[in-house]
Chain A
Amino acid sequence: MAPRLSLPTTARLPSSLRVNPSNTSINKALSRLSRPSLLSLVLDWLDPNNQSLCPPLLRENSSDDEEDEFASDLYPPAYSLPELRELYTDMQTRKGGKREVVDRILEGDWRDGLSLYQLAMADLQYLYDHPGTLKWACYKIQRLQTPGHEDDVEADRSYDKIDKLAMHVPRFHPSTFLQNLQSEVLPDVKAHYNFDRPKGLPLLLLRIFVLDSPYNTDLAVSATSGSTSSTTRTVTCFDASRTIYVAFPDASPHIFVSKSQSAGPTTHAETRSLRALVVEGIPKALSRPGERYALKSVNLQTKNLDAMLSLRGSGRSNAAAGGWNVYAGDKAADARTHSPLNPLLPTPPLSDDAVEDDDERAADLRNQETKTLKRALGPETTEEGKQRKRARLVAQARFGDNAKVDDGKGVERVDVLVEDAFPIHAADIEGEDDDQDTEETQQSRSRKPKGRRSGIDASLLQEAEIDEDEDPEQQQRDQNQEADASDENLHRVGPRRTGEGDGDREKWAWRPNVRLSLHGPHVFAGIRQLVEAGFIDGERMPGWMTGEEGVTMGAVRNGRIKGFRGSGL
């Protein structure tokens, strides 16, 4: 290729920029797709609308002397687009290996290279095929106070405070956002952006692919460019960890940012800083003159976008999770039954049973306190059916229609730090006995010494660090916002004041640092099942175990997640 003049620019990487097929990462990106999705992807590329971004190699004309050029070729190029499309459609009906398709793409029809757009499509296709591969962290977009006067800015007063009175829902405009984001990203980093709307999810997905190169031409992506140092660098360039996904849910002032899966040789620090760069750039890109925004983590991380959307989407279920979701139903039937014009007497769920066997429940409670569960169930087999029914009803009351195993809204990990005082009386025991029932990895450790974490696996370690990162931040936030802080203080002081006798003891009580982490394909469905099976006493189970707080990380004080997370405000 003739050396072209390449000037460092601040522009983004064009979608049509081609990457040499000899690059191993391209091979990797394509071969991790299944054959059917690969073929449908190729057919998408061959769509007439996409020709400017992913043109295949076609023969110019059917003259004889040109055929010689490809005579020895394993995959001779096709004459026309329809022909090629037919070829791949044939492959769809035929059985065969995936290798065949990948080879045909790389050595045949796209031997000149795949455009960045094609790579983005391949990556997105993989994401849609395997929706659980990325971990998403949720951030809330919050408006910052606009300084009322220049003096305010100079005095550094009310400058970076969140405008709580804002009566404005942040709006998001994709192309403006991209322009601004590009100007926020450093000039020696080039990024390729690709927007896509996944089917069946009310959100807009932005794929950001970052390269360390000052150029936005071939030089940025070519592995065979002059200096050797850049060669080694470009190889690492095409790593999955350099891809960041940002999802913008429709009509919701939140964004979901993917956490890197750390696959590849790039170090953690590098990916993190990259991500931090983007996360930092996003609020600036959203802001406009006189309208500044900040991102605030809402302590929600999951691999499941559906779960994320139900907790932070545009619907009604955001601040009404768990048992509260009986109020959030939005179907036509719900509207009819809850219409004020419905003359039928409402039949609240569980209303009758809840009162019926109250005494029985009390007796059960006493039993469960004294005996272990196995023994409790043993002699009372006659009661077993009744208890089971009761447990099911309690589960229904606490979880509503949420947290069903098959609802596809599973959160795979919940981390909780319990900061409550160690219970002294049997009567004081509040949530703690639930914890040991739930078969969790329970870690009690002091927060400072790091040596004790040795037994935890690497990912937990990472989480723990994040948690520690966030805790001071949370405290700091509380200090910064007087209002919030006073909430917290009052709230902490509250129970002490009410229980006057316990006041002193409470103050000096031993507060072990109990760290709880629940894993599973659907954590809250698991808890629900345990409640239904009677292993967890559904009535004494703290509220955060139903998932109604809408967080996957949190500190528990007085049996509740700190900071009123469930209200979504």
Chain B
Amino acid sequence: MGSRVSLSPELSVADRLHDEIAKLRAQVESLKNDVKLQTATLMTADSTRQILQSQTTGDRQPKASEAVKQRLLTRFQEQSAHKQQSLYRACATITTFKVNDPDPNAVDGGHVLGLRFEVMSKAKFARPYYVMLNRPYANRRYLRVHRHTVPQCIPLSGLAAQHLPPPTAKTDEDPPQKQDLSLFARALRRELVRYHNRAAVIGDMKKAAGLGSKKALDQDSDTAIVDISAADAEAKQISIQWRDGRSGRLIMNDDGGIVKMVVQGDNGQDRETVRRFLGGAVRVEEVTKGLESH
């Protein structure tokens, strides 16, 4: 922008105005958000409810404010419903909701049951995962996964086959399997959380080895380990690269227990490094602690 200023002062004025407008717009936006937030907070306050309800009971109010009051009251109800829902979502982590399938040919009149899975990672709620279920089987209450947002690294199809088996034909000799939605939801949530935890553990290990950020990597280049990363989709295998060319693979089980570790050096397997790296650890977190203390 400096060169522009020297070239034509009018342009710079225009630019400055432009900037100012943009800044003001942003300010308006943030203020609007503030207002929304304040309203939401006020609306959920207990005192607000008392005021609103006392007004509704009192009958000396003018008619005009009656409508406003009603509107406020519905708003209050919506807000408290939302609050309750949020509370359930945050604490129960699995919540359900109803969706209407927009497809006019949808099965079961377009009734879809949504499952919402809250997952926390890095001290934040991640975008929830959703599983939408419908009932495509005639005259049966059997559910089937219709749509979902679960990533491929979660074995959703296996879980669905286990806990939500489709109804079998009558000719089949096998006894009809029962579906268990709550088991399905619990198992799926478990998988999701475990996946996130494994990914987080790998992140922690990275940090402990001094590979947390790029800046750190540039500054002290004397870390023995140059790379730690998840080597597979399920984040069960960790690949570790040493500066001197050794590379290792640590395999953990679903819950973060160490299954196996192998390090390849220049001349075959390097068991000494494995021993030093693991230090008798049983869980991956212990390895991370060991790395930190070094």
Contacts and interface: CB of A to CB of B under 8 A. Distances in A.
Interface string A467-504: 00000000000000011111101110111011000000
Contacts of B158: 164-168
B105 A430 contact: yes
A540 to B, nearest CB: 5
Contact of A314 (B82, B137, B153, B167): B153
Interface string B86-122: 1101100000000001111111000000000010000
A340 B166 contact: no
Interface in A215-261: 250-254
Contacts of B160: 569
Given A169-B233, A252-B233, A560 B78 contact: no
Contacts of A316: 127, 129, 149-151
Interface string A495-516: 1011000000000000000000
Interface stretch (B138-146, B201-209, B276-284): B138-146
A368 to B, nearest CB: 14
Contacts of A483: 165-166, 168
Given A341-B125, A345-B40, A397 B136 contact: no
Interface in A297-340: 313-320, 323-324, 327-330, 334-335, 338-340
Nearest to A323: B102
Contacts of A539: 102, 104
A567 B104 CA distance: 17
Contacts of B106: 543, 560
Interface in B214-266: 232-234, 237
B63 interface: no
Interface residues of A, number: 69
A564 B144 contact: yes
A486 B166 contact: yes
Contacts of A330: 127
B125 A560 contact: no
A567 B167 contact: no
Given A340-B125, A486-B167, A543 B83 contact: no
Nearest to B237: A171
B148 interface: yes
B51 to A, nearest CB: 19
Contacts of B152: 169, 251-254, 313-314, 318
A324 B147 CA distance: 8
B128 interface: yes
B233 A482 contact: no
A490 B138 contact: yes
Contacts of B234: 169, 171
Contact of B147 (A251, A484, A567): A567
Interface string B73-89: 00000110011011101
A35 B173 CA distance: 68
Nearest to A486: B169
A126 to B, nearest CB: 30
Nearest to A431: B105
A251 B153 contact: yes
Contact of B37 (A344, A398, A430, A567): A344
A498 B138 contact: yes
Contacts of A147: none
B41 to A, nearest CB: 6
A489 B166 CA distance: 12
Given A341-B90, A430-B104, A566-B147, 17 more contacts: A167-B162, A168-B155, A169-B152, A169-B232, A171-B232, A251-B151, A316-B149, A320-B149, A340-B118, A341-B86, A345-B79, A431-B105, A486-B166, A486-B169, A487-B137, A489-B169, A491-B137
3 closest A-B pairs by CB: A559-B105, A494-B138, A543-B103
16 contacts: A165-B162, A166-B157, A166-B158, A169-B233, A251-B151, A253-B152, A320-B148, A343-B41, A344-B36, A344-B40, A487-B166, A540-B104, A543-B105, A564-B144, A567-B147, A568-B148
